[in-house]
Amino acid sequence: MRASLIQIAVDEGESVAERRQRVAALVREQAGSDLVVLPELWTTGAFAYEEFGPEAEPLEGPTYEVMAKAASDAGVWLHAGSIPERDPDGPLYNTSLVFSPSGELAAAYRKIHRFGFDKGEAVLMGAGRDLVTVRLPGTTLGVATCYDLRFPELFRSLVDAGAETLVIPAGWPERRRAHWTLLAQARAVENQAFVLACGTAGTHAGVPQAGHSIVVDPWGEVLAEAGAGEEVLTVDFDPAKVAATREQFPALKDRMLGLEPPRR
Ligand SMILES: NC(=O)CCC(=O)C(=O)O
């Protein structure tokens, strides 16, 4: 399976409309990949809090339309990263969109853990409630977003729901880059799953971004890692390695907590 993570530079000199078109062209260039992944909130920037309201879109808004078409033009599964979604009956959400190669919406995931403590995303957006997995030929994706990476129980629940490849779009800052790499590897090792974590480059709202998108295998080995700037990180991986790792080193079968009734 071939995956391409597009680590988009989100800088203030480019309008959202311009960036949408530029990113769609980048997605089209990935024809031949099976799966393309974009970062979190790449239209506005994950830290550009004052842009969330003005740039919020309905689920089937401009980003949806442009990305659905890009997915079908390229013939790829597209995790289109996330948008600030305006729910007509509720608050804003940080919502990820996954499209099939025919451009159909396969899944939408509203980020569960919002970042910012008592400000920013944590107060401007509502919390998602639902786990999301997506069945692809050969693997099942488990979907999470950025700050979710710090909450291992979410990923364990995704594994219980069948996830084998954990896809994590992010807008992770350079200041905490070491956490990003460490947590991506930890989620891969503890869940014996592939991790595809796609961040942003550039600086927005005064926050330099870490870049360093990363692909980790179920044994915790880093298969590919991007640098700091805009980049397409392409990697070939064998989804069968998840089952093989879980069989050869069956630690997931030794879980004692969180399973009812206990296994032993
Ligand atoms: N956009 C985010 O969720 C940022 C998360 C972050 O900076 C961190 O967990 O550290």
ipTM score here?
0.99
The CATH code belonging to domain 2-254 is: 3.60.110.10
Q: pLDDT by residue (tens digit) across 167-209?
A: 999 999 999 999 999 999 999 999 999 999 999 999 999 999 9
Q: Region 228-248: what's the mean pLDDT? A: 98
For residue 263, name the pLDDT band (cuts at 50, 70, 90). low
The answer to whether residue 264 scores a pLDDT higher than 60 is no
Can you give the pLDDT at residue 260? 64
What pLDDT is recorded for position 90? 82
Q: Please choose from 51, 92, 176, 181 the residue to mutate so as to test ligand 1's pocket, defined by most ligand atoms within 8 A of CB.
A: 176
The catalytically annotated residue of 57, 111, 164, 198 is 111
Q: Which carries the bigger pLDDT value, residue 262 or residue 2?
A: 2
Q: What is the DSSP string of 201-242?
A: BSEETTEEB----EEE-TTS-EEEE--SSSEEEEEE--THHH
12-61 residue pLDDT tens: 899 999 999 999 999 999 999 999 999 999 999 999 999 999 999 999 99
For residue 157, CA distances in Å to 97, 133, 246 come to: 20, 10, 16
Instruction: Report the separation in Å between the CA atom of 240 and the middle of ligand 1, taken as the mean of its atom positions.
Output: 31
Q: For residue 258, name the pLDDT band (cuts at 50, 70, 90).
A: confident
**Spatial contact of 220 and 187, defined as CB atoms under 8 Å apart:** no
Q: Whole-prediction pTM value? A: 0.97
Token output for 160: 């219980």
| Catalytic residue (one of 40, 121, 164, 230) | 40
Task: Compute, in angstroms, the gap from residue 46 CA to the centroid of ligand 1.
Answer: 9
Q: With a 6 A CB cut-off, is 175 part of the ligand 1 pocket? A: no
Q: How far apart are CA 40 and CA 8, in angstroms?
A: 10
How far does the centroid of ligand 1 lie from the alpha carbon of residue 146, in Å? 6
146 in ligand 1 pocket by Cβ < 6 Å?
yes
Using a 6 Å cutoff on CB, does residue 171 contact ligand 1?
yes
Selected catalytic residue, list 51, 121, 146, 164: 146
- Mean pLDDT for the stretch of residues 71-88: 97
Burial class (CB in 10 A: 0-12, 13-18, 19+), 93: buried
Substitution site in 47, 151, 172 for ligand 1 pocket (most atoms within 8 Å of beta carbon): 172
Mean pLDDT across the stretch 242-263?
87
Alpha carbon separation from 98 to 48, 163, 241, 245 (Å, rounded) = 23, 15, 23, 27
Where along the chain do its domains lie? Answer: 2-254
Average of pLDDT values for 125-135? 98
Say if ligand 1 is within 6 A of residue 180 CB: no
* Mean of all residue pLDDT scores within the chain: 96
The atom number, within ligand 1, closest to the CA of 115 reads 3
CB atoms near residue 174 (< 10 Å): 16
